[in-house]
Amino acid sequence: MRTIRKPAAPGRRWVRRLLIATSAMAVVATLFSLVYNAATAGRSREPAGLRFVTADGIRTRYRQWGGGGPPVVLIHGFAESADTFDPLGPRGWCSSTETGSTTRP
């Protein structure tokens, strides 16, 4: 006895095509990312004038403003740097020595 196959429903075809297209885009994006990372693997040179301090083998960049008074350490939030405090630091918003710290250079 011969089995007759029904054609796939139009909705299923679109889901299947969408899944294939999404998978293909993910593969292309991954390959692009791998090529880009390989091409830019070398470290770039640091800009001149940056100041660093090393403690327990961890190198940290910092910025310093002001000059007199007790020190005040400004610590930024996630995904920010000491440059976050540029609007505050040079203005001398208090009579202290402000220092902005960066967790990673």
Q: Are 98 and 72 in contact (CB under 8 A)?
A: yes
Mean pLDDT for 38-54 is 79
Confidence of residue 39 (pLDDT cuts 50, 70, 90): confident
pLDDT one-digit tens code per residue, 89-104: 666 555 555 556 665 5
Q: In 10 A of CB 92, how many CB atoms?
A: 15
Give residue 72's pLDDT: 75
Query: Environment class of residue 95 by beta-carbon count within 10 Å: exposed (0-12), middle (13-18) or buried (19+)?
Result: exposed
- Look up the pTM and report it: 0.44
